[in-house]
């Protein structure tokens, strides 16, 4: 969700050099779309990066059995305590038993229950201490019950976590333990998570949705589950959205409030308990904000009063009783309210000073008032002030304070050291330079340029001390090149380094040209990762890390291409297969052409039997040798283009066979690790080398 009007009034926006810089202090499952709030890069800001802002350190209270309070423990709290995060957080989001925070460099931090991949770090381990996700240039992060959804600054949408009900929008029901891009959306201005559904607001003020739709909560006029985005019908001018358990609230630009979905407790506020699969108006307004709990709803009007409706059995309506209300009623005792928040059955209201009032279910201290007493009327939470957001899940709540100072990061990293360029491998130039230092960042993105060009040839993420390395592969033997490097802290970019001394590319004596080499020391940088393929920091050949997939009836693969279009390509790699289950063969490596089509692959089945497949005709060749499981093995797969091309396979340097097959006429320009079809297997890869020439 983008920043709110009251945040701008509070001084969380500034003008510098005529350009607007906006701070984002936002809530879970609620997205305000302000057309004028465009992030403008100024000075030396990196293209596409979020503008830096001074943030703050969140606090959390309530249930902590899965580490959802983010303080490194699993001990419950009845009063707010600090989350183990830097004081640079500009947005918070609460799921059922997990949570997210967005920092001022556009990076997501996540913690709590990770049994279904909701943390998004590529593992299934619960995280009582926040971990930082690999996704960068993030403008907004939101949470569902067991899934996450993020919007990047380029308007793309990414999801992860529990996907069995289509809530990830990827066209499948697979879980994802790390962020994956939702296809077809490049104009998102807000994202929202409900329990098992998701919503995306587009730049034209319309909205799409996907996921569970049992009560019509997707707003497409049906109760059909949707695995991919579908348009929400009959709503335009959308400026705010908030998702509940099975219903959603929408505020339009005219201040009117609309609702869709389940209504068994009157949470739609239309005077009945009839669910609606198309939007229905609740309030004419003018509303300032809306917020949906599990089965109750809130709205704050422009006059500073609060309305509530829906389920009231735990006091979550704040009207002094536990009676359910099917139409909006005034929450007594509140005035001057500018912000509201929710959890599963708890509610919050904040005034312009950031004072907090809370009411509702409090069995585990989720209201933060020092007790475990349910509250049917608002109570002031002592010890909290300057709060701009309150968001929670089941029995836990996170509070985000306003930053004490406005302190944007405007200092770029130091200029990197002059690169040293050497070439001892045919077609490959190895670069090394001294790391940059920075006043805030501990990780720097180094971007490399060749021969004075302005288009980057690649980048690598490294620290702020020691030497940084990079390999430029696929160069023509005998060519002469120079290199410069720039450093970015995610917000600001340094000037260029001095140019390296000219280097002559090795080769030309008939040895193969190296197109791609990766030992995963730099992680999965440069790879397009789909599904559950992750980095394994504990195993490798000869040393960790390595690429890894451990899937159960799920996909997990990574793809990477190279420059040049040789007629013959060989991929040599170390592989350790721990297990393959079921009757399907598992694809260890695929070679793909420029159109992305697979042309050749090597597979293994549960009986350790190797096979080679020519994908153009769909012909499979069985290999006599078996692949040992549980230990690292060296495989080399080669393919030569042509209708009567060739495919060869070697194990540990020993040829296993050569086959004539249609490999297609398009050059091979891409490699894939892992299987993009649902499989059950555990596999690691390391020490990959792709060369031109069989």
pLDDT in tens, 179-225: 999 999 999 999 999 999 999 999 999 999 999 999 999 999 999 99
Please give the pLDDT value at position 405: 53
**How much is the pTM?**
0.58
| Residue where the block lists tokens 């080499």 | 517
pLDDT digits (tens, 9 = 90+) for 555-587: 999 999 887 778 889 999 999 999 999 989 999
Cα separation, 189 vs 240, whole angstroms: 11
pLDDT at 46 over 70: no
pLDDT digits (tens, 9 = 90+) for 435-454: 999 887 777 889 999 999 88
Domain locations in the chain as residue ranges? 5-49+56-401, 420-511, 528-692
To 10 degrees, the CA torsion angle through 390, 391, 393, 396?
-30
Cα separation, 516 vs 225, whole angstroms: 42
Rounded to an integer, the average pLDDT of 83-105 is 95
pLDDT digits (tens, 9 = 90+) for 467-507: 888 888 778 888 899 999 999 987 889 999 999 999 988 87
Going from the C-alpha of 270 to that of each of 219, 345, 665, the distances in angstroms are: 16, 20, 63
Q: Tell me the pLDDT band of 511, cut-offs 50, 70 and 90.
A: low
5-49+56-401 against 420-511: fold identical: no
pLDDT digits (tens, 9 = 90+) for 413-422: 999 999 999 9
pLDDT digits (tens, 9 = 90+) for 150-159: 999 999 999 9
Strand-pair category, 238-243 with 247-252: antiparallel
Cα separation, 211 vs 627, whole angstroms: 41
Q: What CATH number belongs to 528-692?
A: 2.60.120.200
Q: Is the alpha carbon torsion for 55, 61, 63, 69 positive or negative?
A: positive
Cα separation, 235 vs 278, whole angstroms: 9
Task: Find the range with the poorest average confidence among 110-114, 230-234, 476-480, 642-646.
Answer: 476-480
DSSP secondary structure, 582-648, as one string: SSSPEEEEEEEETTS-EEEEEEE-TT-EEEEEETTTTEEEEEEEEPPSSS-EEEEEEEE-BTTEEEE
CB-facing half-sphere around the CA of 81: CA atoms within 13 A: 20
Q: What CATH number belongs to 420-511?
A: 2.60.40.10
Please give the pLDDT value at position 546: 93
pLDDT at 403 over 90: no
Q: Tell me the pLDDT band of 326, cut-offs 50, 70 and 90.
A: very high
pLDDT at 103 over 70: yes
pLDDT at 1 over 50: no
pLDDT at 36 over 50: no
Rounded to an integer, the average pLDDT of 641-658 is 91
Task: Find the range with the poorest average confidence among 7-11, 379-383, 498-502.
Answer: 7-11
Please give the pLDDT value at position 456: 87
Whether the Cβ atoms of residue 514 and residue 659 lie closer than 8 Å to each other: no
- First CA to last CA across the chain, in angstroms? 52
- Could you tell me which of 408, 26, 407, 11 has the C-alpha nearest to residue 189? 26
Please give the pLDDT value at position 54: 58
Q: Tell me the pLDDT band of 517, cut-offs 50, 70 and 90.
A: confident
Q: Which fold has domain 5-49+56-401?
A: Methylamine Dehydrogenase; Chain H (2.130.10)
Whether the Cβ atoms of residue 298 and residue 347 lie closer than 8 Å to each other: yes
pLDDT digits (tens, 9 = 90+) for 243-272: 999 999 999 999 999 999 999 999 999 999
Rounded to an integer, the average pLDDT of 450-461 is 86
- Could you tell me which of 226, 219, 224 has the C-alpha nearest to residue 258? 219
Q: Tell me the pLDDT band of 407, cut-offs 50, 70 and 90.
A: low
Q: Tell me the pLDDT band of 513, cut-offs 50, 70 and 90.
A: confident
Q: Tell me the pLDDT band of 633, cut-offs 50, 70 and 90.
A: very high
């Amino acid at each position: 969700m983008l920043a709110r009007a009251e945040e701008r009034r509070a001084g969380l926006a500034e003008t510098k050099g005529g350009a607007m810089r906006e701070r984002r202090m936002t809530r879970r499952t609620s997205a305000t779309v302000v057309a004028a709030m465009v992030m403008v890069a100024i000075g030396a800001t990196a293209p596409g990066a979020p503008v830096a802002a001074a943030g703050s350190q969140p606090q959390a209270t309530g249930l902590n059995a899965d580490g959802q309070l983010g303080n490194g423990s699993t001990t419950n709290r009845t009063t707010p305590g600090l989350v183990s995060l830097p004081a640079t957080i500009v947005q918070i989001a609460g799921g059922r038993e997990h949570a997210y925070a967005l920092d001022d460099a556009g990076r997501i931090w996540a913690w709590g229950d990770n049994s279904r991949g909701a943390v998004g770090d590529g593992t299934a381990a619960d995280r009582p201490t926040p971990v930082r996700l690999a996704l960068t240039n993030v403008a907004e992060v939101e949470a569902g019950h067991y899934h996450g959804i993020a919007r990047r600054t380029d308007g793309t949408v990414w999801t992860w976590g529990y996907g069995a009900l289509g809530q990830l929008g990827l066209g499948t029901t697979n879980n994802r333990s790390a962020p994956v891009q939702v296809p077809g959306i490049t104009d998102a201005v807000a994202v929202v998570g409900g329990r098992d559904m998701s919503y995306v607001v587009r730049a034209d003020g319309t909205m799409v949705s996907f996921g569970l739709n049992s009560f019509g909560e997707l707003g497409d006029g049906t109760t059909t589950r949707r695995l991919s985005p579908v348009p929400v019908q009959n709503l335009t001018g959308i400026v705010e959205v908030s998702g509940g358990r099975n219903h959603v609230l929408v505020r339009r630009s005219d201040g009117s409030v609309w609702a869709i979905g389940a209504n068994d407790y009157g949470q739609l506020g239309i005077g009945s308990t009839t669910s609606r699969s198309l939007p229905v108006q609740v309030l004419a307004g003018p509303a300032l904000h809306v917020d949906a709990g599990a089965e109750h709803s809130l709205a704050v009007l422009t006059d500073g009063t609060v309305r509530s409706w829906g389920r009231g059995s735990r006091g979550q309506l704040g009207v002094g009783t536990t009676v359910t209300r099917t139409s909006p009623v005034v929450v007594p005792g509140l005035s001057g309210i500018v912000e509201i928040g929710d959890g599963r059955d708890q509610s919050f209201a904040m005034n312009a000073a950031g004072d907090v009032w809370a009411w509702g279910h409090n069995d585990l201290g989720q209201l933060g008032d020092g007790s475990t007493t349910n509250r049917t009327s608002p109570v002031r939470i002592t010890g909290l002030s300057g709060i701009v957001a309150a968001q929670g899940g089941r029995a836990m709540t996170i509070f985000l304070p306003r930053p004490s100072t406005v302190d944007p990061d405007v200092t770029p990293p130091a200029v990197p050291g002059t690169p040293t360029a050497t070439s001892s491998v045919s077609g490959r130039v190895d670069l090394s330079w001294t790391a940059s230092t920075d006043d805030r960042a501990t990780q720097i993105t180094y971007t490399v340029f060749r021969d004075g060009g302005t288009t980057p040839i690649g980048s690598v993420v490294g620290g702020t001390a020691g030497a940084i390395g990079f390999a430029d592969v696929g160069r023509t033997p005998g060519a002469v090149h120079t290199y410069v490097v720039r450093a970015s802290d995610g917000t600001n970019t340094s000037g260029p380094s001095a140019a390296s001394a000219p280097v002559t590319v090795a080769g030309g004596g008939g040895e193969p040209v190296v197109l791609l080499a990766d030992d995963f020391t730099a992680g999965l940088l440069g790879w397009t990762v789909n599904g559950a393929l992750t980095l394994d920091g504990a195993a490798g050949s000869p040393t960790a890390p390595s690429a890894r997939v451990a899937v159960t009836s799920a996909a997990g693969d990574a793809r990477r291409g190279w420059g040049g279009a040789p007629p013959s390509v060989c991929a040599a790699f170390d592989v350790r297969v721990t297990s393959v289950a079921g009757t399907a063969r598992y694809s260890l490596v695929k070679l793909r052409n420029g159109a992305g089509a697979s042309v050749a692959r090597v597979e293994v089945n549960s009986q350790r039997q190797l096979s080679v497949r020519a994908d153009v005709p769909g012909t499979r060749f069985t290999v006599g040798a078996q692949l040992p499981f549980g230990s690292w093995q060296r495989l080399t797969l080669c393919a030569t283009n042509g209708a009567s091309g060739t495919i060869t396979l070697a194990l540990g340097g020993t040829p296993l066979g050569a086959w004539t097959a249609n490999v297609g006429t398009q050059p091979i320009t891409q490699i894939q690790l892992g299987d993009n079809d649902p499989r059950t297997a555990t596999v690691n890869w390391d020490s990959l080398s792709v060369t031109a020439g069989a």
